[in-house]
Amino acid sequence: MVEAGTSSGAGAGAGAGAVAGARASESEGRSDGGAEVVAAGKVTVVLGAQWGDEGKGKVSDFLAQYADIVCRCQGGNNAGHTVVVNGSEYDFHLLPSGIISPECKSVIGNGVVVHLPGMFEELQKNEAKGLKDWEGRLIISDKAHLVFDFHQQVDGLQEAEKGLKSIGTTKKGIGPTYASKANRIGLRIADLLGDFGQFTEKFQTLVKHYQRMCPSLVVDIDSELSRYAIFADKIRPLVQETVCMLNTALSEGSKVLVEGANAAMLDIDFGTYPYVTSSNCSIGGVCTGLGIPPQSIGDIVGVFKAYTTRVGDGPFPTELFDETGQLLQSRGREIGVTTKRVRRCGWLDLAVVKYTAMVNGYTRLCVTKLDILDVFDEIKIGVGYKLHGRKLPHFPSSMAELAAVEVIYETMPGWKENIENIRDYDKLPANAKTYIERIQKYLNIPVKWIGVGQGRESIINIG
């Protein structure tokens, strides 16, 4: 580790435009800054700027109060977003977090892969916690691909084959489903709702394909087909052609929010390959996963923690293996929502965030969990990497190189004060503001919000 110095510091469809206008009126006078970000006739995007678990669900839930439609564009139920509203904690894996907002439609786009048993189980669990009236607000694209139980079995079998070289997949079948899609043998929602005889033939072909790959795979085809005949009736009222629907809504002035899943450093092209997910969870995935043109995109909000975490294997330059890392883990309650694995913790790595900002073009930032740093005398920030004594000009593509880098750190003074109940930026301790200002200066992107607690209300709007 290299020390660089010490900083000193003290409604879609007809009438959508009218709906958008009504929502805008409701938000007038609020000081949390969401209304100015979620613009009419534009797509606002929330993306994770690290390795996931940054608090995208909370930010999406907060912004959904101003949106007419909230969308998922990629991934599946391998995501894990936690939202706390009025003391109730909701866990979302496939569903957009915006489904909590009663006047907001939620869209599962064409780029998402859908495990129907998991989706209905997720709805049931969140209904028990207070989710209401989702039937008229949840919309599923007819182009979305289906995740079957055997995809999940294959996921586990493939991970087991890799042994010590496994990548730490969630075993939710996401990778095998995207592989089926790329091989052009996958099944979509539209197939399920069409001629069931044709669906049966395609299903049998798909199973046989994976049984050739994994001879130990056992699938009760008749039982699965009977189950999916029931699912077809259950989801039929929820399914639409969403590409036309979304573009029509935008043309009529609706406010559309996109909730990215996973995170930029898990993107299959730009992440720490092969320790990545199977979809593009950067800005390009928004266009391909929903069928919207780039010019429709307005603000792009990059969300990251005031420190860095990741789940699963792969290089992690600022990872802490000492008591400091354990303290971050315990204070931050760093346990994966989906995997239930303890998250690895380290100091904030701004080299990572700068790289993902270059790829995604963030227009605003949200720094979450700043309150977790309340107890530290000193706080370090990673501002670059050295390899073999030379500063690297770009983020490494080789995982061997990333594992071997020395982190260039800046050390800043802590504030040693509880900030959990602060809602005004000017009332933050001087050293906490210095920390945020250093982030802004390094990235040259404004920090719009700071998270200082679990609840929807625990957000500081900088203005």
Can you spell out the DSSP letters for 167-213? -----SSHHHHHHHHHTT---BHHHHHS-HHHHHHHHHHHHHHHHHH
CA torsion sign for 193, 198, 202, 207 is positive
What angle (nearest 5°) sits at the alpha carbon of residue 99, between those of residues 340 and 71?
90
Instruction: Give dist(CA 39, CA 300) in Å, integer.
Output: 12
Q: Examine the residue annotation and report whether 81 is marked as an active-site residue of this protein.
A: yes
Amino acid at the residue 220: D
Nearest to 58 by CA among 35, 91, 31, 36: 91
Tell me which residue has tokens 């495990």.
115
β 81-85/88-92 pair status: antiparallel
Indicate which residue of 32, 61, 81, 155 is catalytic. 81
Tell me how far CA of residue 216 lies from CA of 74, 134, 205, 208, 213, in angstroms: 30, 39, 17, 12, 9
- Return the bridge partners of 413, or none: 378
- AA letter at 134: W
Residue whose token pair is 């965030």: 353
**Burial of 177: CB neighbours in 10 Å, binned 0-12, 13-18, 19+:** buried
Residues catalogued as catalytic: 53, 81
